[in-house]
Structure formats: C-alpha cells, structure tokens
Amino acid sequence: MLDPLEVHLLDFPNIVIKGSELQLPFQACLKIEKFGDLILKATEPQMVLFNIYDDWLKSISSYTAFSRFILILRALHVNNEKAKMLLKPDKTIVTEPHHIWPSLTDDQWRKVEKALSDLILSDYAKKNNVNTSALTQSEIRDIILGAEITPPSQQRQQIAEIEKQ
C-alpha cells in the first residue's frame, strides 16, 4: 500500500512515510456504502478525492478525528451490520450528499464512539475468552488500533510463573 502513496508524495520531500506494526483495517473502507457504490458503478479507472473526516475538524482535533475514523473502520471490520446500525441508530439521522458519515452532533458522536468501542471489545473478549472489565486502558487502545497483544489472562499467568521462579 505504501508504493502508490510514495509515488504521489515525490513532490513533497519533507513528508516521510514509515511502516507500522498496527493492523489498521483499511479494507473496511470498501464496506462503506458510498465507496462501494462508486466501485460498483465504475466503468474505468478514475482518481477520486474524499475528505474522510467530513467536517469533524471544525469541532474536534485531528487526533480525535483520526481515532474516530480508526474506531469506525475497526468496528466495520469486526461486525459490518452492527457497526452500520450504530452509526445510523434511527431514520432521522441523515448523511449529507457531500459527506461519508452520518451528520451527528458531538454528543451523539460520543455515544456512537462508546458503542463502537464496546462492539470491538466484546468481539475481542469473545474470541480470546477474557472479560472486558479485566482490560487496561492501554490494552483497550491497542485492541482498537490493531496492535498485536497477548490476551490478559495468558499475560498475567506468565507474570505469575516468573514470580514463582
């Protein structure tokens, strides 16, 4: 994925691209209706430009916008249908034609972010047979970002074994 990006950034020598150990679920972008429709209707290759943050940066920081974006992608990757339902909880919420995401207030976004986070964590807990309340904040962050972590129960067992020796 880096090669095409590097080609586009040749004109910007001050921008450096580094690889990451994080497993960011960019393939989940294809599950977004607006992108999926565009791909299905395409008859020839074309370059398109989207503002993935819509108008979020008017009310939140770029860090928060990136975190929200990754949270949405991870939730779409984990459970596409539930994530879409959480993003559009009722019929009154609309998506503006020039936006990708539903137009929500800051308070509504906080509720949606919490629900998406719970969806991701419950999926992780079910797959690894752990209790979500046993997870630390750094483990929660790593799970959402996609970093490889050892499930807490195994990790704590290993610590206990080391302490016995």
Please, where are the H alpha helices in the chain?
2-8, 33-41, 62-78, 80-87, 106-128, 137-145, 152-164
Domain boundaries, the chain: 24-164
The average confidence (pLDDT) of the chain is: 86
Question: What is residue 29's predicted lDDT score, i.e. its pLDDT?
Answer: 86
Is the CATH code 3.40.50.300 the one for domain 24-164?
no
Asked if residue 6 has pLDDT above 70, the reply is: yes
Over its C-alpha atoms, the chain yields an Rg (Å, rounded) of: 19
Q: Counting beta carbons within 10 angstroms of the beta carbon of residue 91, is it exposed (0 to 12), middle (13 to 18) or buried (19 or more)?
A: exposed
Asked if residue 136 has pLDDT above 80, the reply is: yes
Question: What is residue 152's predicted lDDT score, i.e. its pLDDT?
Answer: 66
